[in-house]
Structure 1
């Protein structure tokens, strides 16, 4: 039986890396996309090939650029002939706190392209391939309460892109349901820095999270693993928060010194 192929954007580090490890363990052959993390991608591919015997290719490309998305898909198809699962993990983010008027046009367009338009660029190329096989799994990434179109101070571009992506994800789910393709959004909670690549058993106590521990990359990868399973076809158009019960946006608004 032919192995399924998963494309993971931004898959060399962080949550993408943890998802790659999870899917490799489950027997997927992987296409790991990265923008700048060449060294990390190569090390990850070697590690997973040795550990699980997975077939892995690493593809450089910026998903915010349409031509790169086309090239990424063409490369995967030439190597594996199909793309069965796509994890839209990559998404640019400006860490500096900026009000809407402080964004440059280039910054704004790059964030919108990388978080919203990239899914259109890749879906336009990949969905017809999935239709041929009458099977596919599409996972996008959002943030807590994204489906309610909340405001997010100093994150206007990112919030706007992800809110649009939530609607797009649900639209894809409806349009492609008859083709055996599901589309769901996973919304990680406050999982920061090195915790994105940690296992659940490594999580330490955190009084700020209702469940009492730090969130980890494995918390997210396990949900993704469930959603891409053969038997998860009844779950589509869902927006799933994985937060440990923490009100992430509430934390933002409770912080003092919001005005500059």
Structure 2
């Protein structure tokens, strides 16, 4: 195994083609590494129940695999069009000896958010971990290029759904439960061609702190992970082939991250190992600063 963080994963993605939304792992030329062959569980989440949005592929899939190998049963929320990717996630969770509930639907639907939590509780008898990971990524060339409907849809998926899911989940959570949100390095760097996406991620970082303050008296911890450029299906739907090939080469480590490289942070934040962590935003950015 190569331990050099500069070269331990692919440093370029030649021949990768853009995809239409929502983006599919099965269509990617260079397959992401979700930790399928490398993540080894230690029983840190034994007997827990987790609901993961966007758990069919990318970071959410890596988290589902890790949580299952740590002993948790997992409910996975995803868009119905992503069924093939979700089926693969389920097979990996079940291979780890845990149960997996697949929950298709669009989290921009306010009623679905409550339903996702309700079905998770009904299937597994409770919920201990909520991972708000699903996101819509939008791009723009100029300010005039920002589409109003697309902007509203991005906030519905990236921010409003998180609040609705938390509202639905918290009444079922006991002390020791946790919420883990996925924000982004874009919350700080705010690339000029990702104005709306960056704004939603900034909102998530603030939401994480606010929820942490609100829920700490109940013994529920709330934290976030802030990825940098990570090789997931969200990349081919937002970038051209030239940009895809060199994704992440502008980071200090000189490459994009792989979903499996983020999973341990989500385990830390959901387990007793992170018992004194709340209101934190953990950057996993290949060295890109977030201060």
Query: Counterpart in 1 of 2:97?
Result: 53
Q: 1:97, 1:155 within 8 Å by CA — same for their partners in 2?
A: yes
Q: When you count helix as a share of all residues, which structure comes out higher?
A: 1
1:3 to 47, 51, 58: 47
1:97-116 equivalences under 5 Å are 97-116=140-159
Q: 1:12, 1:37 within 8 Å by CA — same for their partners in 2?
A: yes
C-alpha distance 52-151 of structure 1, shift in aligned 2 (>3 A): closer
1:87 to 114, 128, 131: 131
Q: 1:61, 1:69 within 8 Å by CA — same for their partners in 2?
A: no
C-alpha distance 92-136 of structure 1, shift in aligned 2 (>3 A): same
SS at match of 2:252: coil
Q: 1:195, 1:216 within 8 Å by CA — same for their partners in 2?
A: no
Query: Counterpart in 2 of 1:234?
Result: 276
Question: Which 5+ residue runs of structure 1 have no aligned equivalent?
Answer: 197-205, 249-260
1:1-260 equivalences under 5 Å are 3-35=47-79, 36-49=81-94, 51-94=95-138, 96-130=139-173, 133-144=174-185, 146=187, 148=188, 151-193=190-232, 208-211=250-253, 214-246=256-288
SS at match of 2:67: helix
**Structure with greater contact order relative to length (CA < 8 Å, sep ≥ 6):** 2
In 1, the alpha carbon distance for the partners of 2:76 and 2:186 equals 28
Q: 2:73, 2:98 within 8 Å by CA — same for their partners in 1?
A: yes
Q: 1:99, 1:155 within 8 Å by CA — same for their partners in 2?
A: no
Give TM-score scaled by structure 1 length. 0.82
In 1, the alpha carbon distance for the partners of 2:284 and 2:123 equals 33
Give TM-score scaled by structure 2 length. 0.74
RMSD: 2.3
In 2, the alpha carbon distance for the partners of 1:87 and 1:234 equals 18
Provide the aligned length of Structure 1 versus Structure 2.
233
Query: Counterpart in 2 of 1:253?
Result: none
Runs of 4+, deviation exceeding 6 Å: none
